[in-house]
């Protein structure tokens, strides 16, 4: 444990430097981190509570839907335990620096030995890809449908960051995630061929390395077994649609409560841009990246004066809400896991 903590030290330091860099950028761009008290007082408490409640429901559903990806390789997986591990994992991803929390879910689930770490990782990669496909397609469609500022600003506040690049970046991300989905499907369909090629190529150098690589590819492919199960695939996709619709509606509600006359399409685009912005490694609590991505989305649709006033309220309240929500998810998940007896099975 001590060695692990020492190894994490440099990453924590880097993440803190990233967070400080973002704070400097926000200050230089004239984008406040904390709204004025009189602006903050305008937002109703019920709106913030509804925002948290809708996103908590979305988080629970996002965590539970992992069951549908795991059932083809672990038919007797415990849904309640998967839910708890999922809540812990999503909380850790938000709170831990440089997205180091990504390993929490596969590590914890592999301890039950119904699913290996590599199999769990394969299912999570698939989950991320499919989330990315849905989110980027929804964001691209919303950017086409929503009324934007015309012409798009050449600066983000006072920062020389042309916002015209944001829709182009969303389009590139959409193409990338769709390409990853097709590549993932092709890999699963051609898994036997991929293992054979790996065995021949790596085996010519090291038979032991070839055996490890082939076994790893096999387990990754097993993590994609849901692709052949129409029932589990349909359940996962429908759950994904519902959980993202809840997030879009929550964002629209909070935008309106903050005083920004947003449409549902604009709210969807803001959520999508935020989702892409925090996908890269950042500081603890995604601090800085969250604010920059949120302000970038808002500046596409509202004048900079409104973004610096009502927009700052929206960004501050949503960040504090997400921070509290993920702490709650981590604690709730820990309680669920502790209350669910571990059923250790033979390794798959």
Task: Give the per-residue pLDDT at 11.
Answer: 65
Spatial separation of the C-alpha atoms in residues 70 and 197, rounded to whole Å: 27
Question: Which position has the token pair 């892409």?
Answer: 276
Residue 156 DSSP SS3? strand
Token digits of residue 78: 């415990």
Task: Give the per-residue pLDDT at 166.
Answer: 94
Residues with Cβ within 8 Å of residue 261, at least 6 apart in sequence: none
Least confident of 53-67, 69-83, 333-347: 333-347
Q: What value does the mean pLDDT take over residues 228-245?
A: 95
Task: Give the per-residue pLDDT at 128.
Answer: 94
pLDDT tens-digit series, residues 109-134 = 999 888 999 999 999 999 999 999 99
Task: Give the per-residue pLDDT at 86.
Answer: 96
Mark out the alpha helices in the chain (DSSP H runs). Answer: 2-28, 37-40, 45-64, 66-70, 79-95, 104-110, 117-145, 165-189, 191-203, 207-222, 230-258, 264-277, 289-299, 304-306, 312-339
pLDDT at 171 over 90: yes
pLDDT at 348 over 50: no
Burial of 107 (0-12, 13-18, 19+ CB in 10 A): middle
Spatial separation of the C-alpha atoms in residues 243 and 260, rounded to whole Å: 24
Top-confidence residue, 298 or 342: 298
For residue 159, the 8-state DSSP code is B
């Amino acid at each position: 444990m001590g060695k692990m903590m020492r190894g994490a030290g440099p990453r924590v330091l880097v993440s803190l430097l990233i967070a400080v860099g973002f704070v400097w950028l926000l200050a230089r761009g004239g984008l406040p981190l904390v709204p004025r008290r009189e602006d903050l007082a305008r937002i109703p408490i019920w709106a913030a509570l509804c925002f948290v409640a809708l996103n908590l429901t979305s988080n629970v559903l996002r965590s539970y839907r992992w069951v549908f990806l795991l059932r083809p390789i672990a038919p007797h997986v415990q849904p309640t335990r998967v839910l708890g591990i999922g809540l812990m994992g999503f909380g850790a991803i938000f709170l831990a620096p440089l997205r180091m929390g990504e390993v929490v879910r596969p590590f914890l689930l592999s301890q039950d030995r119904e699913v290996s770490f590599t199999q769990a990782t394969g299912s999570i990669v698939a989950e991320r890809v499919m989330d990315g496909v849905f989110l980027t397609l929804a964001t691209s469609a919303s950017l086409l449908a929503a009324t934007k500022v015309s012409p798009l600003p050449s600066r983000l506040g006072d920062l020389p960051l042309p916002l015209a690049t944001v829709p182009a970046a969303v389009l590139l991300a959409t193409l990338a995630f769709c390409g990853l989905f097709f590549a993932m499907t092709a890999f699963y369909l051609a898994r036997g061929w991929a293992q054979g090629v790996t065995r021949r190529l790596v085996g010519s150098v090291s038979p032991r390395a070839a055996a490890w690589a082939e076994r790893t590819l096999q387990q990754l492919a097993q993590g994609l077994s849901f692709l052949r199960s129409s029932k589990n695939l349909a359940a996962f996709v429908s759950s994904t649609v519902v959980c993202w619709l809840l997030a879009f509606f929550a964002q629209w509600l909070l935008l309106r409560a903050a005083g920004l006359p947003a449409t549902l399409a604009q709210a969807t685009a803001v959520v999508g841009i935020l989702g892409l912005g925090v996908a890269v490694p950042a500081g603890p609590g995604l601090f800085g990246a969250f604010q920059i991505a949120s302000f970038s989305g808002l500046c596409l649709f509202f004048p900079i004066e409104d973004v610096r006033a009502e927009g700052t309220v929206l960004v501050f309240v949503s960040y504090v809400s997400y921070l509290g929500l993920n702490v709650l998810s981590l604690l709730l998940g820990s309680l669920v896991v502790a209350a669910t007896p571990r059923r250790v099975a033979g390794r798959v």
